[in-house]
Amino acid sequence: MTKHLYSFPLIFFCLLFLSCSKTAGIGGKAKINVHVIKSLENGNALNLPLTQVSVLYSGQLFPSSTSQGDDTKQTNDDGLAIFENLKRGDYYFFVNTTINDTLVSGGHSTTIESRKGETHIVIDLGEEDPF
């Protein structure tokens, strides 16, 4: 009978630990800087200002060219969009934009593993296969 008394607290704490796992989203202290560029054939790259960057919380794959994402930011004049106050978890950042009357898409997945910190990623819309 006493063996069962010792196993109950162990099971309780295991269930409590598993139920407290964090999911991706807003409410943390991490920051991700997303730089959107388009590579050129001559080896240079252009920053893409005023481009919408979307994020899927707990995402790892490109959703579709019509997906809105869980949050959206616009890049500044340097092609940079900043997502702040993020929790630990998986994130998929993606862009669907029109360049010279052609729909261009690209994306990048990342994982925040630390409660605090800053991550920099680049989405290059000039790559052959941006996924």
Q: Which domains does the chain have, with CATH numbers?
A: 28-124 (2.60.40.10)
Range name among 4-8, 20-24, 100-104 with the lowest pLDDT average? 4-8
Please report which confidence band the pLDDT of residue 63 belongs to, taking 50, 70 and 90 as the band edges.
Answer: confident
- Residue scoring higher pLDDT (10 or 106): 106
* Inter-CA distances, 110 with 23, 34, 38, 50, 76, Å: 14, 11, 20, 23, 21
Residue 16, pLDDT > 80, answer no
Closest of 69, 73, 83 to residue 28, by C-alpha: 83
Amino acid 24: pLDDT: 92
Closest of 30, 87, 78 to residue 53, by C-alpha: 78
**C-beta separation of 91 from 30 below 8 A:** no
Mean pLDDT over 9-31 rounds to 67
**C-beta separation of 90 from 70 below 8 A:** no
Residue 83, pLDDT > 80, answer yes
Residue 128, pLDDT > 80, answer no
